[in-house]
């Protein structure tokens, strides 16, 4: 019996964030994270406290347990044809499950493979686009990638943007923290104006009203 991947949900949408914002993509959301259980009652004690995502279980759109072949079939079935097929592996923390055989199987099916990771786990070099989003209280294990996308502000000094500015990324983004009753946009704009290495990343899917 071959291994299975636990998938929360899988859907076709536009990448909302970062340097690839606006690009059509199949999102594959893996179940589970190493920085929060995903349960509201644990949020205050979690390493990562501001998460905007439900990544528990397999009950979302197209969720379930999939073998490698089934996973690739699912993702490929959601691509409409044309363009450059693109799959964004997210979660939860996708690198708890995403492995080299699955990455290479997506690529063999014609997909470019992206990952959204919290940067605490090693990143397989086969991945085509690596987005790292460091978290204040988690040790950063990744210092190279395509984009570093820091949720801002995180009040802890360990997550100040200056801590990441010298790392080997091609793009540096500050993404305003989406937090009930708070507006972090003006602080994000102000930091980017005074530190031009950084660009603003808006969560444009939320503005557009898509997944």
Ligand X SMILES: C[S@@+](CC[C@H](N)C(=O)[O-])C[C@H]1O[C@@H](n2cnc3c(N)ncnc32)[C@H](O)[C@@H]1O
Interface with ligand 2KA (CB under 6 A):
13-17, 27, 53, 90, 116, 205, 211
Cα–Cα distance measured from residue 128 to residue 168, given in angstroms and rounded to the nearest whole number: 16
Burial class of 81 by CB neighbour count within 10 A (0 to 12, 13 to 18, 19+): exposed
Q: Which of the listed partners (ligand SF4, ligand X, ligand 2KA, none) does 16 bind, with a CB threshold of 5 to 8 Å by partner kind?
A: ligand 2KA
Nearer Cβ to ligand 2KA (14/19): 14
State the nearest-atom distance from the C-beta of 117 to ligand SF4, in Å. Answer: 8
Query: Among 93, 102, 115, 149, which residue sits at the site for ligand SF4 (rule: CB under 6 A)?
Result: 93
β-strand partners of 29? 9, 90
Determine, following the binding rule CB under 6 A, whether residue 48 of this chain makes contact with ligand SF4: yes
Burial class of 151 by CB neighbour count within 10 A (0 to 12, 13 to 18, 19+): buried
Q: Total residues at the site for ligand SF4 (CB under 6 A)?
A: 12
Q: Which of the listed partners (ligand SF4, ligand X, ligand 2KA, none) does 177 bind, with a CB threshold of 5 to 8 Å by partner kind?
A: ligand X
Cα–Cα distance measured from residue 121 to residue 45, given in angstroms and rounded to the nearest whole number: 21
- Is 172 in contact with 196 (CB distance < 8 Å)? no
Determine, following the binding rule CB under 6 A, whether residue 147 of this chain makes contact with ligand X: no
Alpha-carbon dihedral sign for residues 178, 180, 186, 187: negative
Query: Among 33, 103, 113, 159, which residue sits at the site for ligand SF4 (rule: CB under 6 A)?
Result: 33
Q: Active-site residues: which are they?
A: 27, 33, 48, 51-53, 116, 205
Torsion of CA 101, 30, 146, 136, to 10 degrees: -130
- Here the tokens at position 200 are 């603003």
Q: Binding residue per annotation — 101?
A: no
Cα–Cα distance measured from residue 138 to residue 76, given in angstroms and rounded to the nearest whole number: 34
Nearer Cβ to ligand SF4 (53/204): 53
Binding footprint of ligand SF4 on the chain (CB under 6 A)? 33, 35-36, 48, 51, 53, 55, 91-93, 118, 135
The annotated binding site is made up of: 14-16, 29, 33, 48, 50-53, 90, 92, 133-135, 175-178
């Amino acid at each position: 019996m071959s291994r299975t991947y636990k998938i929360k949900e899988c859907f076709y949408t536009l990448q909302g964030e970062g340097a690839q914002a606006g690009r059509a993509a199949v999102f594959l959301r893996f179940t589970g994270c190493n920085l929060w259980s995903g349960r509201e009652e644990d949020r205050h004690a979690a390493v990562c406290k501001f998460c905007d995502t439900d990544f528990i279980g397999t009950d979302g759109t197209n969720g379930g347990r999939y073998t490698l072949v089934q996973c690739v079939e699912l993702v490929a079935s959601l691509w409409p044809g044309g363009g450059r097929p693109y799959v964004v592996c997210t979660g939860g923390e996708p690198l708890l499950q995403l492995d080299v055989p699955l990455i290479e199987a997506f690529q063999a099916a014609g997909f470019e493979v992206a990952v959204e990771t919290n940067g605490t786990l090693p990143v397989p070099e086969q991945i085509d686009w690596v987005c790292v989003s460091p978290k204040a209280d988690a040790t950063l294990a990744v210092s190279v990638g395509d984009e570093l996308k820091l949720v801002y502000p995180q009040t802890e000094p360990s997550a100040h943007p200056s801590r990441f500015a010298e790392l080997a990324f091609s793009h540096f983004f500050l993404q305003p923290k989406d937090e009930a009753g708070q507006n972090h946009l003006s602080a994000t704009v102000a930091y980017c104006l005074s530190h031009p290495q950084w660009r603003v990343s808006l969560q444009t899917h939320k503005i557009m009203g898509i997944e």
